[in-house]
Chain A
Amino acid sequence: MDVSTFENGFGIMNGGFNFGKLKAQLKLVGVLCLLAASARAQSSSGQLSINMSVQSSITLIFQNNPAVGTQGFCPLTNAGTNNVGLDLGVAAHSANLHSACVNYSHISSSTYEVSSAFDVVVSKSNTSSPSYRMSAEISTAPPANVAWLINNVPLTNTGFTQLDAADTYGSPITKTLQVQVQSKVPAQTLFETITFLATAN
């Protein structure tokens, strides 16, 4: 057999086509195709469908003002959270007795005011709200002749009083808490909890 015939599947032997050889080679090609098909990667697939709702939210925290420690800016306890404390110390109508970090003034001959400022920061998440409004409410009615105010706005325990209509998210808003005490109020310790409410516009 001519070597070139073996190497060339369509070679010619003795002057004509070698159909027997061609047939054998075609069979070989067929077997190789089958082997290739069976050797292809085996795979399997699956689907996992998920749903989750992204809920918008806003958060409010109290922070110490940068001027904390100076007069009019007492330190908050637990600053940086939404649940803080503020100690306004001891104040008296006579002799201008008051804590060093508070502002103390007589607003009339019979009433004095103690105040301290702090910051409120409201941030937003997953919302297109451009601004927020803030209101506040005292938890319990104060004793007679005692008044609580924020930025000169008197607070009640009967409902939220709006303080701002359109504050900017993420920016510290300085709020001054004031308590006004008339001279006829008996000596006592004043406890009050003020609830702040930020509402997205």
Chain B
Amino acid sequence: MKNNTKRIKPALLALCIVVFVTSWSQAQNTGKLTVNARVQGSIGLVFKDNAAVGTNGFCLLTNAGTNNVGLDMGTASFTTGDTQSCVSFLRALGFYFVSSAFDVVVTKANSTSANYQLAASLSTAPPNNVFWSLNLVTLSTTFNTIQNTNNYGSPVTETLGVLVNQNVPQQTLFETVNFLATAN
């Protein structure tokens, strides 16, 4: 019996040590959090009034400085021209051409892209014998490339024009031109 007691005491001591070590090691437990984040390159497009805004050929944009602007080209007559002095008006061969220019600025962020290409399209097909153009590039309802390697951050002046045949009925023309800048 004494011998048994002598054996039990060290065993109990050893058990206490194990319990202590176990509880101590739980207090020291570690964790690992693995994080990943991806920085996405992006570009932004805004329309701005040209520095010459208000002079002939440079009408004021509404909501300038955003990517959703408006342009009022007034009332045009084959005989008397346009009611707005800011609209450029040319007449020849049974057509007249009215135009106004503005700036497009595309900026980049977190991108190594060297430059960008700019394309434009019409939202709806125009009436017969009405032709919308950007820098004399005729627009359609599919995107047409206007420029291939524009510089970021620099205003690029774009001239929106509409060619109207004199046989087009009197009406108000509404059009939305979509611009698409794509990083090269």
Contact = CB atoms under 8 A, between A and B. Distances in A.
B46 A46 contact: yes
Contact of A126 (B162, B164, B180): B164
A43 interface: yes
Interface string A24-66: 0000000000100010011111111111111111110000000
A52 to B, nearest CB: 4
Given A42-B113, A48-B71, A51-B173, A125 B77 contact: yes
Interface residues of B, number: 52
Contacts of A45: 45, 67, 178-181
A48 B102 CA distance: 11
A46 B74 CA distance: 22
Contact of A53 (B75, B102, B182): B75
Contact of B176 (A42, A50, A52, A55): A50
A94 interface: no
Given A38-B40, A44-B106, A56-B170, A49 B180 contact: no
A48 B69 contact: yes
Given A54-B76, A54-B173, A59-B79, A49 B70 contact: yes
Given A47-B178, A51-B174, A125 B43 contact: no
Contacts of B41: 38, 42
Contacts of A127: 169-170
Q: Which of A47, A54, A57, A126 has the most CB of B within 10 A?
A: A54
B170 A43 contact: no
B76 to A, nearest CB: 6
Interface of A is mostly: strand
Contacts of B113: 42
Contacts of B108: 42
B44 interface: yes
Contacts of A57: 77-80
A98 to B, nearest CB: 37
B1 to A, nearest CB: 58
A146 B71 CA distance: 57
Contacts of A56: 77, 169-170
B75 A52 contact: yes
Contact of B67 (A41, A47, A58, A128): A47
A125 B92 CA distance: 12
Q: Which of A49, A56, A57 has the most CB of B within 10 A?
A: A49
Given A50-B175, A55-B77, 19 more contacts: A38-B40, A41-B182, A44-B44, A44-B45, A46-B178, A47-B177, A48-B47, A49-B68, A50-B72, A51-B71, A52-B98, A54-B164, A54-B169, A56-B77, A57-B79, A125-B79, A126-B78, A126-B166, A127-B170
Interface of B: 38, 40-47, 61, 67-80, 98, 102, 104, 106, 108, 111, 113, 160, 162, 164, 166-183
The 6 A-B pairs with the shortest beta carbon distances in the complex, nearest first, are A125-B78, A125-B166, A46-B67, A57-B79, A52-B73, A55-B77
28 contacts: A34-B38, A42-B43, A42-B111, A42-B182, A44-B43, A44-B67, A44-B180, A44-B181, A45-B45, A45-B67, A47-B67, A47-B178, A48-B69, A48-B70, A49-B175, A51-B70, A51-B73, A51-B172, A51-B173, A52-B72, A52-B76, A52-B172, A54-B168, A54-B170, A54-B172, A55-B77, A126-B164, A128-B169
